[in-house]
Amino acid sequence: MSETLAIVCTVVQADKTITLLPEIESGYNHLVGKKYMVTLGTPQKARSTGERSQNSCIHGWCADIADQLSLPQEQVYEAIKRMAVGSRGYPTYCNTLDGVETPLPQRHASVQQANMLIETIEEYADSNNLYLTQYIDGKAVKCTGGTPHI
């Protein structure tokens, strides 16, 4: 038995993200109301994860900034994503709960998109004279403006 879906699309950002809301034929109403997100674009390499990865760098540096500013890490992380949208074109999607354009969750980011977040963090830290922890010869070192404090 096959299901037939009629798809209603709303374009959120041209050539990037569309939200799909299926309208199901009678007999398949258990799927009505579910929402799906489809990202269109060229294939991209997934960001790295694990120790010393892009993922660890982003979260570690957000923690560095949060510690220095006495803010919750999540607040810094969300602000960095919003800054990257404006300054570097970090992708967004339409939050289906309230219809607000929201920065893409990092778990869906490509290597290039994760790099946008890293560059935004470096720029913010440099312009506010904040340190970021970097690994030099396998040792964690606090660096300001790329200069280590050894």
Q: Please say whether the dihedral angle defined by the alpha carbons of residues 40, 45, 50 and 52, taken in this order, is positive or negative.
A: negative
CA–CA separation, 80 and 15 (whole Å) = 24
CA–CA separation, 108 and 64 (whole Å) = 23
CA atoms within a 13 Å half-sphere pointing along the CA-CB vector of 110: 11
pLDDT of 107 reads 83
Among the listed residues 52, 54, 19, the one whose alpha carbon sits nearest the alpha carbon of residue 137: 52
Which pLDDT tens digits describe the chain residue by residue (150 residues)? 444 444 444 444 444 544 444 444 444 444 445 555 555 666 667 666 677 789 899 999 999 999 999 999 999 999 999 999 999 999 998 888 888 889 988 888 888 999 999 999 999 999 999 999 998 888 889 999 878 876
* pLDDT tens sequence across 92-113: 988 888 888 899 888 888 889 9
pLDDT of 97 reads 83
Burial readout 85-100 (b: 16 or more C-beta within 10 A, e: otherwise): beeeebbbbbeeeeee
Counting DSSP H helices and E strands in the chain, the numbers are 3, 8
Q: Please say whether the dihedral angle defined by the alpha carbons of residues 20, 42, 100 and 37, taken in this order, is positive or negative.
A: positive
Q: Which residues, other chains included, contact 122 with Cβ-Cβ below 8 Å and sequence gap of 6+?
A: 61, 132, 146
C-alpha distances (whole Å) from 84 to each of 6, 7, 31, 37, 110 are 35, 32, 35, 21, 14
Among the listed residues 49, 86, 69, the one whose alpha carbon sits nearest the alpha carbon of residue 129: 69
pTM of the model: 0.69
